[in-house]
Amino acid sequence: MSLTTKAVLGAIWSISASVGGRALGLVGTLILTRFLAPAEYGVVSVAIVIVTTVDVLSSPGFGQYLVAHPKAGPEVAFHAAFFHILVGWLLLVVLLGAQGMLVTLFQMPDLVLYLPVVVAAVALERIGYIPTRVLARDMRFDVLGLRSVASEVTYAVLAVLLAWRGWGAAAVMWAFVARKVVEVVIGVGAVELRDWMAPTKLSLETTKGMLDFGLPMTGANVLHYISHRGDNLLIAGMFGPAAVGQYNFAYNIADIPATHIGEH
């Protein structure tokens, strides 16, 4: 199979898997509106946006480097995994220490109920990120598609089930955790450990090359994420959890065509 054919088939599979998974996610979001008050959904969504913002800020483009350099060996993948995990975990620890400040800033005391759990889920995801870049580099789009669908199905089903059982905003939090666990299990399980986590002596030259490539992309990724989710924090700070909850419900529904079809 030619490279062009693999790329086209991969794009078709990725779009189909993403749209299929998000279609179920859309149904789940609509059902959640029957069980969760906007203020409940607003607080947990703010917690998730805060943590994922730190996640994006602490991602120096090493994953993109792997995809763009298909001939890079396992030693480069180890560098990417090591620094991606280390930098991310350090900033997540700093975030945990800033919980009090965030509660004061957003006037949401319940943030402390959700931030530690969401941080733990994203910390786990940091481990599973580099294997997904290895999969993308090797054009194993079937696995990436399965990962996308399975994680979305898990999130939608569990969020609705727990909300129906009366868990409130914790339903969204634990569904988020379950989604990350599924993503990590499938991604890590599909890649040989020696392909990305074989211990290698760290090289300044390799690290510098990856940073030179990745840091400009990090800036672009941060700006993209802020344009995509930064308004949630602005609305939360100005109007409170109920307003951001309503906004988030509406935004998630409206954003599906642009994010999961237009951006592929």
Please tell me the distance from the alpha carbon of residue 213 to that of residue 244, in angstroms, as a whole number.
36
Among candidate residues 156, 164, 84, the one with its CA nearest the CA of residue 124: 84
Q: Please tell me whether the overall predicted TM-score, pTM, comes out greater than 0.85 for this model.
A: yes
Establish if 82 belongs to a structural domain. Answer: yes
Does the pLDDT of residue 264 top 60, yes or no?
no
The total number of structural domains in the chain stands at 1
Among candidate residues 40, 79, 109, 49, the one with its CA nearest the CA of residue 213: 79
Using the CB atoms, write b or e for 89-99: b if 16+ within 10 Å: beebeebeeeb
212 or 28, greater pLDDT? 212
Among candidate residues 113, 122, 96, the one with its CA nearest the CA of residue 167: 113
Does the pLDDT of residue 55 top 80, yes or no?
yes
Establish if 214 belongs to a structural domain. Answer: yes
Q: Residue 240, SS3?
A: coil
Q: What is the pLDDT of residue 73?
A: 87
Across the range 45-57, mean pLDDT stands at 94
Q: What is the pLDDT of residue 216?
A: 85
CA dihedral angle for residue 40, residue 50, residue 217, residue 210, rounded to 10 degrees? -130
Contact 152, 22 (CB under 8 A): yes
Does the pLDDT of residue 2 top 80, yes or no?
no
**Among positive and negative, which fits the CA dihedral 211, 52, 182, 110?**
positive
Across the range 122-137, mean pLDDT stands at 95
Task: Report the percentage of the chain scoring pLDDT > 70.
Answer: 86
Please tell me the distance from the alpha carbon of residue 136 to that of residue 69, in angstroms, as a whole number.
11
Across the range 45-73, mean pLDDT stands at 91
Q: What is the DSSP string of 151-211?
A: HHHHHHHHHHHHHHTT-TTHHHHHHHHHHHHHHHHHHHHTS-GGGT-S-----HHHHHHHH
Establish if 4 belongs to a structural domain. Answer: no
Q: What is the pLDDT of residue 228?
A: 77
Q: What is the pLDDT of residue 9?
A: 62
pLDDT band at 6 (very low <50, low <70, confident <90, very high): low
Across the range 119-145, mean pLDDT stands at 93
Contact 156, 25 (CB under 8 A): yes
Q: What is the pLDDT of residue 105?
A: 92
Q: What is the pLDDT of residue 218?
A: 82
Q: What does the pLDDT look like over 166-189, one tens digit per residue?
A: 999 999 999 999 999 999 999 999
Please tell me the distance from the alpha carbon of residue 45 to that of residue 150, in angstroms, as a whole number.
21
Q: What is the pLDDT of residue 104?
A: 93
What's the token pair of residue 6? Answer: 């693999």
Task: Report the percentage of the chain scoring pLDDT > 90.
Answer: 54
Establish if 194 belongs to a structural domain. Answer: yes
Establish if 13 belongs to a structural domain. Answer: no
Q: What does the pLDDT look like over 154-163, one tens digit per residue?
A: 999 999 999 9
Q: What does the pLDDT look like over 68-105, one tens digit per residue?
A: 988 888 999 999 999 999 999 999 999 999 999 999 99
Establish if 153 belongs to a structural domain. Answer: yes
Does the pLDDT of residue 190 top 70, yes or no?
yes
- Mean of the per-residue pLDDT values for the chain? 87
Q: What is the pLDDT of residue 240?
A: 87
Among candidate residues 112, 92, 129, the one with its CA nearest the CA of residue 46: 112
Establish if 41 belongs to a structural domain. Answer: yes
Q: 169 is in which domain, residue-wise?
A: 24-262
pLDDT band at 10 (very low <50, low <70, confident <90, very high): low
